[in-house]
């Protein structure tokens, strides 16, 4: 157990739970920022002064003038008014503000618990690494935005995927520590042993699928082939050569990325069926609930993906599809934790 002082069990549990809720909201707002194409509205990375939005008309006009200098405005949003700009500005501003608050919400209690020697040295080091990852995430967020300010009308899909994955790694790590606290245990999330390797592969597949989902969003790949189960009456996309699917350049082709995203979802579904059959065939009763939760979330995620596609990227379905990604991660991590306990 990494908790040195049990008197702080309740407060540390509440702290981790609040971090999870806050991070969930940040990912949700980040997804909506992307869906509303608001991410490039703030063209500067002002760590301190950026805490406050523009207040006067003069300040708003300055921010708007900076936005007018980037390709997204010139090629896509030339007709938006100042009031329209304020809407997309506030989406990005809210996302950045929540990121700052999250850093403070992590750092101040951690500093207090460190002074009080609440955690073991090993766990203090782990928490310090998480905080450094939070700082790095802020840099990656700006690095992502920067990719859309000069030549492109949107951010790099590779940087977008990196930004999202770091956020979800933070979420998974905090959730795992929360489970350990709740169960008075000190299970390790990931190691290189072959024991229970099937669930490790499953979690990696989920992260790979999240990466492809970010590619799909970043490339606007969902705007093409809005049919299911076929891709315009074909299994393979008909606007690229089959051989191109085998090259690294395919990850920059919208059609190929959507194809990969679809088919990895099918593979994950079949993998989940195998896991469920394994659990019930060998009557591992301690895994029944977590296996059912996992299978349910995979089905929900796939259905929401299909509805998003068929609806022409309806923002409600698209947002729910992104939200369910986090819940799917929770279900997979929860299954992995219960498996280790068993």
Task: Please state the rounded mean pLDDT for residues 287-305.
Answer: 95
pTM of the entire predicted model: 0.92
The predicted pLDDT at position 71 comes to 92
Q: Which residues pair with 119 in a beta bridge?
A: 3
The predicted pLDDT at position 182 comes to 87
Confidence of residue 242 (pLDDT cuts 50, 70, 90): confident
Burial 83-95 (b: 16+ CB within 10 A, else e): eebbebbbbbbbb
The predicted pLDDT at position 330 comes to 93
Could you give the 3-state DSSP secondary structure of residue 144?
A: helix
> What's CA 318's distance to the chain center, in Å?
13
What gap in Å lies between CA 284 and CA 100, rounded to an integer? 43
The predicted pLDDT at position 340 comes to 78
Non-local (6+) Cβ contacts of 133 within 8 A are 166, 169, 170
Task: Please state the rounded mean pLDDT for residues 1-29.
Answer: 90
The predicted pLDDT at position 188 comes to 81
Could you give the 3-state DSSP secondary structure of residue 127?
A: helix
What gap in Å lies between CA 90 and CA 94, rounded to an integer? 6
pLDDT in tens, 168-214: 999 999 999 999 888 888 888 777 667 778 888 999 999 999 999 99
Task: Please state the rounded mean pLDDT for residues 296-318.
Answer: 94
Q: Which long-range contacts (CB under 8 A, 24 or more apart) does 60-64 make?
A: 60/85, 60/86, 63/89
Q: Domain locations in the chain?
A: 1-186, 188-342
pLDDT in tens, 17-50: 999 999 999 999 999 999 898 989 999 888 877 8
Q: How far apart are the first and last CA of the chain?
A: 17
Share of the chain above pLDDT 90, in %: 71
Non-local (6+) Cβ contacts of 273 within 8 A are 295
What gap in Å lies between CA 29 and CA 186, rounded to an integer? 32
The predicted pLDDT at position 196 comes to 79
Burial 307-337 (b: 16+ CB within 10 A, else e): bbbeeebeeebbbbbbbbbbebbbbbbbbbb
Contact at 8 Å (CB) between 225 and 312?
Answer: no
The predicted pLDDT at position 255 comes to 92
The predicted pLDDT at position 193 comes to 67
The predicted pLDDT at position 8 comes to 86
Confidence of residue 84 (pLDDT cuts 50, 70, 90): very high
The predicted pLDDT at position 192 comes to 63
Least confident of 103-107, 292-296, 335-339: 335-339
């Amino acid at each position: 157990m990494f908790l040195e002082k049990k008197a702080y069990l309740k407060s540390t549990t509440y702290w981790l739970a609040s971090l999870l809720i806050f991070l969930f909201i940040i990912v949700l707002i980040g997804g909506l920022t992307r869906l509303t194409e608001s991410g490039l509205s703030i063209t500067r990375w002002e760590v301190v002064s950026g805490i406050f939005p523009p207040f006067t008309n003069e300040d708003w006009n300055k921010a708007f003038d900076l936005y007018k200098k980037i390709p997204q405005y010139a090629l896509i949003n030339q007709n938006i008014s100042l009031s329209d700009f304020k809407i997309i500005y506030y989406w990005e501003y809210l996302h950045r503000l929540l990121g700052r608050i999250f850093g403070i919400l992590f750092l101040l209690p951690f500093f207090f618990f460190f002074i009080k020697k609440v955690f073991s040295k090993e766990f203090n080091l782990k928490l310090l690494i998480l905080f450094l990852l939070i700082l790095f995430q802020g840099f990656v967020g700006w690095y992502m935005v920067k990719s859309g300010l000069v030549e492109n009308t949107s951010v790099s899909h590779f940087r977008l995927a990196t930004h999202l994955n770091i956020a979800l790694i933070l979420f998974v790590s905090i959730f795992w520590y929360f489970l350990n606290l709740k169960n008075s245990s000190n299970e390790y999330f990931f190691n290189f042993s072959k024991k229970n390797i099937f669930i490790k592969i499953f979690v990696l597949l989920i992260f790979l699928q999240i990466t492809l989902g970010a590619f799909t969003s970043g490339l606007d790949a969902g705007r093409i082939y809005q049919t299911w189960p076929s891709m315009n009456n074909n299994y393979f996309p008909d606007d690229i050569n089959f051989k191109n699917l085998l090259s690294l350049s395919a990850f920059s082709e919208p059609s190929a990325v959507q194809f990969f995203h679809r088919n990895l979802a099918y593979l994950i579904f079949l993998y989940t069926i195998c896991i469920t059959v394994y659990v019930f065939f060998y009557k591992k009763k301690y895994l029944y609930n977590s296996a059912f939760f996992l299978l349910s979330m995979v089905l929900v995620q796939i259905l929401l993906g299909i509805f998003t596609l068929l609806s022409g990227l309806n923002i409600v379905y698209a947002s729910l599809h992104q939200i369910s990604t986090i819940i799917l991660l929770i279900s997979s991590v929860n299954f992995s934790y219960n498996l280790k306990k068993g």
